Amino acid sequence: MKTTFTRRELLAQLAKAASVSSLGATALLLHGCGGSSMAPPPPPGDGYSGTDGQLLDEIEKAGFQFFWEQADATTGQVKDRALAAGNDTRTVSSIAATGFGLTALCIGDQRGYQPNAAIAARVQATLDFLLNQMQPQGMNGFFYHFVDMTTGARAFTSEVSSIDTAILLCGVLTCRQHFSQDPQIPGLATQIYNNVNFNWMLNGGTTLSMGWTPENLFIPTRWDTYSELMMLYLLAMAAPNPAFAIPATSWAAWARPSFSYQGLSYISSGAPLFTHQYSHAWFDFRNKKDAFADYFQNSIDATLAHRLFCISLAGQFSDYSADLWGISSSDSVKGYVAWGGPPALGPIDGSLVPCATAGSLAFDFPDTIHVLRWIRGHFPQAWQLYGYVDAFNPLTGWYGTDVIGIDVGISVLMAENERTQLVWNTFMKDPAVQSGMNLAGFQPG
């Protein structure tokens, strides 16, 4: 069944109400959300007996199992979502889940989760299907967001997506480097990247469109404000075909609004926490600055502010504390929602979203690993075959039944980056990646 809205569609709708003051929005969003509910007192301690390293390995192994089992073994396309306990029968894939999945395959190869030959064969099959079946069905090298995992045909009325193509390409280029000695993988990866006409996606403007459909042509909304967009622009500026590349001036064309919360000032559009995480899963922004910001420090500050924001809601939702915090776009008892803060966004109801903290492991390890240990130790129903369920609510006893590919993906990749920096070190070897960073004007700092 289709997720009613994508994460970006939800944010676009919420942006229409941006004129509401922060205080007014907070009151509006929190009113009537069941905040008077009381959580039972938790047992003492975080309740998890293993080491931090053991928990990270469990997260990565479980996540890898999702990407291995919930993909079509012939096409390699990964399901958008699946039952957290396994035995899922849905057939819709998202290209973003496949992009995270390709990277997870590299992690699994490095860690020996499956034999090297089996993983390399899966990567080869995935890239071959992307290049020869799916890319021709898209438009100008961009891919449809949702597809049938077996045929590669467009699912629903989904768009040819610029940001989801970028996430897919990040996985493709990770494989180009990790399997650099493979006789097939680098060539397939190079052809996929070479085919993407990023300049077309500008649609005559200075910023990239969010996508295109055959029914309505270009989506009017653009990637014009700070978010997960950095990976898209960096890959687009570095496109190997000069006719397909966008100008380096595009890097300065999107807005970087400043936001302040409890003494922390950072760039943010007010969107959920994942927007501060996704580009950082592949691009290593540590100890680097462009003309505008240190984006790694920016994501640290965004994570710290989000923690303080959740704790500030403890009066309305008694489960939120230094032990339990973290909200990002996810499933909820009422369906898929974009929620978070600061400022308060969406129908916050006391739910916890484990990928919110897992996706920030590299930004604030002590605080995020504490939450993940606490959930693992105190809420056994929140851990299933493929790791943490997408979301759950300790106040009501609601547990999501699904995992979502992109949420599993950000958890796996950031856990590995925190442990060994494998994804960063592998991805940043790619000449195109280095070119994009140079074109954007990044300097050590």
**If we measure between CA atoms, which residue out of 432, 441, 438, 8 comes closest to residue 236?**
432
All residues at 6 or more sequence positions from 36 whose CB lies less than 8 Å from its CB, including other chains: none
**Cβ count near 334 (within 10 Å):** 8
Which residues, including other chains, have CB under 8 Å from residue 222's CB and lie 6 or more apart? 205, 207, 208, 209, 210
The tokens of 383 are what?
A: 């851990």
Helix (H) / strand (E) element for 21: namely none
Which residues in 238-261 are b (16+ Cβ under 10 Å) and which e? Answer: bbeeeebbbeeebbebbeeeebeb
CA distance 199 to 246: 5
Residue 124: predicted pLDDT: 98
- Please state, in angstroms and rounded to a whole number, the distance separating the CA atoms of residues 23 and 343: 8
DSSP conformational letter for 340: B
- The three-class DSSP label of residue 92 is strand
CB-based contact 82:88 (threshold 8 Å) = yes
Rounded to whole angstroms, the Cα distance separating 365 from 234 reads 27
* Residues ≥6 apart with Cβ < 8 Å to 64: 104, 105, 107, 108, 111, 113, 114, 412
| Distant-in-sequence, close-in-space partners of 102: CB < 8 Å, separation ≥ 6 | 123, 126, 168, 171, 172, 174, 175
The per-residue pLDDT string of the chain (445 residues; one tens digit each, 9 = 90 and over) reads: 334 445 556 545 544 433 333 323 332 233 233 333 444 444 458 999 999 999 999 999 999 999 999 999 999 999 999 999 999 999 999 999 999 999 999 999 999 999 999 999 999 999 999 999 999 999 999 999 999 999 999 999 999 999 999 999 999 999 999 999 999 999 999 999 999 999 999 999 999 999 999 999 999 999 999 999 999 999 999 999 999 999 999 999 999 999 999 999 999 999 999 999 999 999 999 999 999 999 999 999 999 999 999 999 999 999 999 999 999 999 999 999 999 999 999 999 999 999 999 999 999 999 999 999 999 999 999 999 999 999 999 999 999 999 999 999 999 999 999 999 999 999 999 999 999 999 999 999 8
To the nearest 10°, report the CA torsion of 153, 158, 163, 166: 0
Residue 41, Ramachandran bin (φ over 0: left; ψ between -120 and 50: alpha; else beta):
beta
pLDDT given for residue 266 in this prediction: 98
**Those residues with Cβ within 8 angstroms of residue 183's Cβ, 6 or more apart along the chain or in another chain:** none
> So what's the pLDDT on residue 12?
54
Helix (H, G, I), strand (E, B) or coil at 392: strand
Q: Is 390 left (phi over 0), alpha (psi -120 to 50) or beta?
A: alpha
pTM, to two decimals = 0.92
Distance CA 74, CA 126 (A): 8
CB count, 10 Å around CB of 287? 10
Please report the domains of the chain, with CATH numbers, ordered by start residue.
46-444 (1.50.10.140)
Distance in angstroms (rounded) separating the CA atoms of residues 373 and 416: 17
Residue 246: per-residue pLDDT:
98
Coil vs helix vs strand at 384:
strand
Residue 274: closest CA among 80, 77, 409: 409
DSSP 201-251: GGTTSSSEESEEETTTEE-S-EE-BSSTTHHHHHHHHT-SSTTTPPPGGGG
> What was the pLDDT predicted at 18?
37
Residue 166's contacts (CB-CB under 8 Å, 6 or more residues apart) are 231, 232, 235, 236
Residues 261-316: tens digit of each pLDDT:
999 999 999 999 999 999 999 999 999 999 999 999 999 999 999 999 999 999 99
Q: What percent of the residues of the chain are helix, what percent strand, and what percent coil, each to the nearest 5? A: 45, 15, 40
Decide if 319 contacts 311 (C-beta within 8 A): no
What are φ and ψ of residue 265, in 5° steps?
A: -120, 130
